[in-house]
Every structure is written in structure tokens, then in C-alpha cells.
A and B are shown apart, each in its own frame.
Chain A
Amino acid sequence: MKRISVRTNFILTTIFVIGSGFFLLFADNTFGDYWSRIITLIAIYAIMAVSYTLVNGVTGIFSLGHAGFIAVGAYTAALLTLPIQQKAMSFFIEPLIWPLNSIQIGFLPATIIGGIVAAFFAFIVGYPSLRLTGDYFAIATLAFGEIIRIVIQNSYSITNGALGLKGIPPYTTVWWSWGWLLVTIIVIGSLKFSSYGRALRALSEDTVAARAMGINVFKHQLTAFVVSGFFAGIGGALYAHWLTTIDPRPTSLGIMLTFYVLIMIVLGGLGSISGAVLGAIFFAIAAQWLRIVESPMNFFGITIPGIPGMSMLIFATVFILIMLFWRRGVMGKKELSWQYLYNLFLKKVGDQD
């Protein structure tokens, strides 16, 4: 088998990234606002999915608290970028506490702070939960995610409670979201393909053997969890400035969102970064397309009324079918690399190693 060298890989990847940049520039300017928004959303979803697959795929621990960290990032960043008058107007049940009521900072620092606060929450949640294994860990993170949401819902003087935040500046453009996606992929990819990533993959297979190899399982899992939490927070910050309105309903920044991202990473192949991106692309487009089933339809003169929640039902069904019949997803654990494409398309018959 021909192995593609590091140099070739690097050149091809650079060309690919620059090419994608031009494509985005073109798409942003020609496809219109609607598609610009979808393209932005794809990158936001992809950031959430790539960070999620680091925990649920690479590290092999099943967390269900991802939306909690996304929400923390979303709220933190939004509270930092909201114009001061807007805050004074929105917080009419209880006024916003100091110093949040008197600051307004730029989008980039707000996003980064959103990530850091989310990472801190991931540490707080991960530290006790990671003492548990398997299903118990999943349940603990599910509970913590829900606690975060309920705390947000009830802290009127910080988050405006159930009223949510309105009038968040629509800062998230194609460039911000895809730029952050690039950063996310580089960092998490660099982690996955380092000695630490190998340790994570090893402990995901067999913790006893991993310990015997000198891996501090708890510390490695916690590190992965915190890194994942950071990028979930970044994703949340971008999401908030894309939505421009956020609130703590379970269907917006709650368990439903965790479920969406879970569909993306399972579809793409658990543990595969490129798979997570493919899953996000698929999900974002399918979700738009499925809106059709929720709006009234006209079949040969018979009008069928729109059924709200229908798209969710379809997603759930697809999810179950994937879990039953196609557990490895599109990519399995593999990455979409030049080598992978080469082997897939160009390998001659009998050219095996």
C-alpha cells in the first residue's frame, strides 16, 4: 500500500482548507441569507458534535450533559455582549446583578470567556461524576445537565429566568463559526493524534489494561471532559449569537439539544472527528428539509395539516434504526484522511499490503 507522506498530507489539507474558505465566501455571497444562516449553523453544530465525540467517542464515556455546557457558554457570552440598555429593558422581573449590568465586551473575548466558564462547569460536573462508571455516569451527567438548566431557569437576577435573553447581537457569521470550527478541529484533532489521545483510546477499550500501562484513567477522562466542555461552551456562545434569543426550555438549550448532537455523532461514527462534522452537516440540512413535514401539505387537492413535532419523531426513528442496524455510522472510528480517500478510490485491485 502506498502511504501518503506527512508533507503531501499537509499540502493537500492546506489546499482543502483554503478551497473551503473560497467556497464559503462564494456561498455566503450568492446563496442568499437563508442559506448563509444554514451554513453558519452547520459549523456551530459541528463544533458541538466534535467536542461531544471527544468524550462519547474517543474517551468512550457516555455523557448526556453536553447541552448543559452549551447553555453555560451561551448564557455567559450573551450576558457579556448584550447592550447595557437591552439588559435594563429585558430584566424587568429582577434587575441584573452587578457587574454584569454595566459591562459590554466584544464578541471574541465573550466567546472565549463562555468557553472557559463552560470548561469550569465541566470540571465541577466531571470531578464527582467520573467516579462512576457506565450507565451511572450517563445518569449523573444527565442530571447535572438538567440541574444547570433549572438553575438558569430560576436565577432571575443573572439569567432572566424563564423569560430568557432577547436582543442578543447577531454577531455569528459564516466566518466566526467556520473559523472556530477550524480551531476546534485542530485542537481536538491534535489531542486525539497525540500520546494523550492514544491513552484516551486505550482506556476507552479497557480501563484495567490502561491502568496497568500507567495511565491515570480518572485524570485523563477528566481532562477530555473539560476540553470538551470548553468547546461546547464556544459552540454555545456562537449559537446564542446566531439565535439572538435564548431561553432555558428543554427543547432549546436542554436535553433535546444533547439528543440532537448525539444523533450527529452516532450518525457520523462515534469517535471520528470528520464523522462528527459530516453528521452535523447532514443533521442541519435534514432538519431544514424536515420542516416540510411540519407545515400543511397539499396532496392531490387534500390538505393535510402540519403536525408539530413530526420531525422529532422522524429523527428519533432514524436514531433507533442507526443504533440497531448501523452502529458504526458513516466513518466508524476512522477519520476522513487523504490516505482514507486514496485507499477508497484510487487503490488498484491487488494493491494490498
Chain B
Amino acid sequence: MIKISEKKSVLKLENLTIKFGGLTAVDSFNGYLNKGELVGLIGPNGAGKTTIFNMITGIYRPTFGNVIFNGMDITGMKPHVITHLGIARTFQNIRLFSEMTVLENVLVGEHSWLTNFAARKALHKHDPEEYPRPRWKPWFWSAILKTPDYLKMEKEMKSHALELLKAVELEKYAHLSASALPYGPQRKLEIARALATKPSLLLLDEPAAGMNPQETHELLEFIENIRKKFSLTILLIEHDMKFVMGICERIYVLDYGKIIAHGLPKEIQNNKKVIEAYLGDEIYV
């Protein structure tokens, strides 16, 4: 096992537990993510990985336990506030706004720039020294009246969105409908859309699912790139072992809602419990 000082933790999960009726989907999950780390979360189907994401992002409220983000307890906060605080995610089964264009999808992520008052207020309450009292701006009225203020913002949003699309190599499809994209680029667009909210922590739910080895390899480099470029901390769920071993610095292994192993990729690879958990599932071993 590795020793890391937990001081710089971006994310800390303390005894995170959730029950659905009689089923304990996640049972006392303890984990942390340090600044700039890329950590993997693996485990067989139904282990509770996506459920952990849903608890971090506020879609589910944990039965017990806490989610601490940058030292602030965000358990039970609304999903949109958590996004404004700097946690963005992608979904296992791609959830793009398919009737909107590629560019519009990214712009939707940037809408959070106008509406993050509640999150800034929460930050101010948490640490008045570092976060000044936020000022509320009537963006809604500015948007309808198209004030110079708003038009400037809109312009900024658009150029930032195009930059993001360039970063994910989708700028030439900007005006195409999102549903017209092939599978791989859709996953990339979902990442770009998440980045548009200017997160510091990115949660990727099976980003390589459904990709061929070539695409998977490209995705590996792509994730490394955006991690550096946007100084991100990343937690990712993935089934493709080669992918996980190739990219993650640390790995949590989950089975039936419990952590069965935690450590460096090498340690995980040879861990008996992990091999047992995946037994019968030849692809993974």
C-alpha cells in the first residue's frame, strides 16, 4: 500500500454508504484523491461504481457518510451547485443533448458561468477569507435585453467553446447535430461539455466503452493531455484493464459495494482478491 499525505486531498469520501431498499449498493467507501492525480475505480458489473459517482455529484444522497471536496462538506448539495463548485462528469451511457449542435452542447456547459451564485455563496460561507462575498448579477434580464455585458459574455462563451472543441478535435463538426457524430467523438464531446463548466475534478464513467483498440489508445493520450492542459484531477471508472493499468496512478477495486483492494496498478494486477472477483470474466483477467 502507498502512503500519501492526505493534506492536499481534492476529494475525500468518508464512510460513503447508500442503501436501495434492502440492497447496500455501496458500503462504507473510504477514499481520497490528491490534487492532479488520476485514479481508477474498477470492479465487476453492479459493484457500485456509478453509484459512487452519483453520490459525489449529488444525484443520490448517501445514506451515511460524507463527501468532502476541497475541505468543504458537499454531502446532500444539489447537483448543479456541485457542478458549479468544480466537479464535472460524463455518463456511462452517453447523455448528450442530441437535438442540439455540437457547439451548443458545449455552450450549455458554459451556462454555469452565469448562474453560479449559490455555489459562490456556499464557498464564501465555508471560507470567507479566501472567497469574497459574491455579487449577484441579473444575468437573466441582461440576456433578454441583450445588454453589452451579456453580448460580451456570449462572445467569450463562444470563443471558449470553440477552443474546447479544438482541444478535442471536433471543431469542424461544430454546427453538426450531436447525434450525427460517431460513437467515439460523442464520448469526446461529452468530455468537452464537462470541461466547459471549468471543473477542477473530472469524473469519467467508462470513457473507453465501445471503442476499438485504436480509439482506446488515442483516448488514453487524450485524457493525459487534458489533464495537463486544464490541470485536472481525474477519477475514472473503466472495465478495460489494459486501459486502467496504462493510465491510472492508483486504483480502487470495488466488489459488491465494498473496497476489496487499493493500490498501485502493479499491486492490483497481482492481488488475489481482485483476480477472484473477476474470475469467470476472462476478458478482464
- By a beta-carbon cutoff of 8 Å, the part of chain A in contact with chain B is 187, 190-191, 194-196, 198-199, 201-202, 205-206, 208-217, 223, 333
Contacts and interface: CB of A to CB of B under 8 A. Distances in A.
Interface stretch (B107-115, B128-136, B240-248): B107-115
A187 B97 CA distance: 24
B206 to A, nearest CB: 15
B207 to A, nearest CB: 15
A217 B80 CA distance: 8
Given A205-B98, A206-B97, A212-B83, A199 B111 contact: yes
Interface string B192-203: 011011000000
B197 A213 contact: yes
A214 B115 contact: yes
B61 interface: no
Contacts of B110: 195
Contacts of A194: 143-144, 146, 150, 154
Given A187-B144, A191-B143, A214-B197, A199 B80 contact: no
7 contacts: A206-B97, A209-B95, A211-B80, A214-B83, A214-B197, A216-B80, A216-B115
A-B complex: 4 closest residue pairs judged by Cβ atoms: A214-B112, A214-B83, A194-B143, A209-B95
Contacts of A195: 107, 110-111, 114, 139, 143, 153-154, 157
B73 interface: no
A213 B83 CA distance: 7
Given A195-B111, A208-B91, 5 more contacts: A198-B107, A198-B111, A212-B59, A212-B88, A214-B84
Identify which of B83, B97, B146, B157 gathers the most chain A CB atoms within 10 Å of its CB.
B97
Contacts of B97: 201-202, 205-206, 209-210
A332 B124 CA distance: 45
Nearest to A214: B112
Contact of A199 (B78, B99, B108, B193): B108
Given A202-B97, A212-B88, A196 B111 contact: yes
A198 B154 CA distance: 12
Contacts of A206: 95, 97
A330 to B, nearest CB: 18
Identify which of A190, A194, A206 gathers the most chain B CB atoms within 10 Å of its CB.
A194
A220 B112 CA distance: 12
Contacts of A333: 99
Given A198-B111, A208-B95, A215 B146 contact: no
Nearest to A197: B143
Contacts of A213: 80, 83, 108-109, 111-112, 193, 196-197
Q: Is the interface of B mostly helix, strand, loop or mixed?
A: helix
Nearest to A190: B144
A210 B107 CA distance: 12
Contacts of B98: 205
A213 B193 CA distance: 8
A202 B100 contact: yes
Contacts, number: 100
Identify which of A208, A211, A212 gathers the most chain B CB atoms within 10 Å of its CB.
A212
Interface in B251-282: none
A66 B55 CA distance: 38
Contacts of B233: none
Identify which of A187, A198, A214, A215 gathers the most chain B CB atoms within 10 Å of its CB.
A214
Given A205-B97, A209-B95, A209-B97, A196 B83 contact: no
Interface in B92-151: 95-100, 104, 107-112, 114-116, 118, 139-140, 143-146, 150
Contacts of B111: 195-196, 198-199, 202, 213-215
Contacts of A209: 91, 95-97
B184 interface: no
B79 A201 contact: no
A214 B109 contact: yes
Nearest to B115: A216
B59 A205 contact: no
Contacts of A199: 108, 111
A201 B196 CA distance: 17
Contacts of B146: 190, 194
Contact of A215 (B91, B115, B144): B115
B66 interface: no
A333 B97 CA distance: 14
A11 B97 CA distance: 32
A148 to B, nearest CB: 26
Contacts of B79: 211-212
A333 B100 CA distance: 11
A133 B145 CA distance: 31
Nearest to A196: B143
Contacts of B140: 196, 223
B59 A208 contact: yes
Interface string B54-70: 00010100000000000
A64 B193 CA distance: 34
Contacts of B88: 212
B136 to A, nearest CB: 13
A201 B100 contact: yes
B108 A212 contact: no
B89 interface: yes
A71 to B, nearest CB: 26
A196 B194 CA distance: 18
Interface in B184-243: 193-194, 196-197
A167 B116 CA distance: 50
Nearest to B116: A214
B100 A205 contact: yes
B143 A215 contact: no
B23 to A, nearest CB: 21
